[in-house]
Structure 1
Amino acid sequence: MSLTIMMNQFIEFSTNHWEMVALFVAILITLVFVERKNGPAGLTASAATTLINNEDAVVVDIRPEKEFKTGYITGSINIPATKMKDNLKRLEKHKDDPIIIVCKSGVTSGPSAKDLQKAGFTKVYKLQGGVAEWQSSNLPLVKK
């Protein structure tokens, strides 16, 4: 199917179903706004690796200790999410360094990252997909 035919079909669909297209655009804009408002930017495993290698980013793994010991990113500091607010002093010396928050699947890192930002940490990121994505990208984990 040629590009011209596909574009014509897209334009015809958009004209005939403008309400659905408008709703889709509104939802997309809302998602982008909410994601930006919800704090720190997400990093891919590749971008995180670059930040770790080039800017000595600090990796903070917020999984429970038992889960952390099953495999973690080299050099990670384990501070479980439930204990983050009580352990901010452990990270104080890294206040101006890039910090990458890591959880199991990338879903629960947001609140911990926001806590760090509220405490004055300037370069806070979340690892998209968490340790699961790190592993699926064939990046190494340290296992005790």
Structure 2
Amino acid sequence: MMQRPRSLLIMVFALLAACSLESGAPAISQQQLLDTINGGEDILILDVRTAGEYSEGFIPGAKHFDHREIAARLHEISDYKQRPVVVYCLSGMRAVMVESTLMENGFDRLLHLQGDWSAWQKGNLPITKPGENSAQL
């Protein structure tokens, strides 16, 4: 009987370890991204959270691609294969999945937003809400 809870615990730890995996995309700091946005550089910022999360606010200029739809929507961003693409979600796990898909499909200038949306909010950095110069694709 004691074996079942123990194996459940092992599975939980394995899942947590898997969540900490990285895609290999270099990180871009919150400040570096803010400087890039303010500098008007040609960069694609992908918010890969759910539509509900996105509707509550996003990084100015970010395009919304639900992480579950990335493979079906790659054609919409194919012009960015050789340009910088910054990916973020709430805490990193979904962004890493999207980054892996993008890498497999020839996107070679990927960057992961360090700390993701959680850190952006904690830093009281600028946010936009849908309807305020929305950048949703």
Shorter-chain-normalised TM-score: which range? 0.7 to 0.9
Q: Which of these two proteins has the greater Rg computed from alpha carbons? A: 1
The yes-or-no answer on 1:135 pairing with 2:121 is: yes
Gaps of 5+ in 2: 1-20, 131-137
Higher relative contact order (CA 8 A, sep 6+): 2
Unaligned runs of 5+ in 1: 1-33
TM-score, with normalisation over the residues of structure 1?
A: 0.69
Q: Quickly say closer, same or farther: Cα 1:43–1:113, change in 2 above 3 A.
A: same
The correspondence of residues 83-94 of structure 1 with structure 2, limited to 5 A, is: 83-94=69-80
Task: Pick the aligned partner of 1:39 from 1, 19, 24.
Answer: 24
Query: How far apart are residue 82 of structure 1 and its match?
Result: 0.6
- RMSD (CA atoms): 1.6
Q: Which amino acid in the other structure matches residue 126 of structure 1?
A: H
For the residue of structure 1 that corresponds to 2:93, the secondary structure is coil
Structure 1 letter corresponding to 2:82: D
> Contact 1:72–1:143 at 8 Å: present in 2 too?
yes
Structure with the higher helix share, 1 or 2: 1
Q: 1:109 maps to which residue?
A: 95
Q: 1:50, CA displacement in angstroms?
A: 2.8
Alignment of 1:14-25 (within 5 A): none
- Maintained 8 Å contact 1:113/1:124: yes
**Identical aligned residues as a percent:** 28
Matched residue pairs, number?
Answer: 109
Tell me the residue number matched to 1:9: none
* Alignment partners' CA distance in 2, 1:139 and 1:112: 24
Please name the residue that 1:56 is paired with. Answer: 42
Q: Secondary structure at the match of 1:100?
A: strand
Using the TM superposition, give the Cα deviation of residue 119 of structure 1 relative to its aligned residue in structure 2, in angstroms. Answer: 0.7
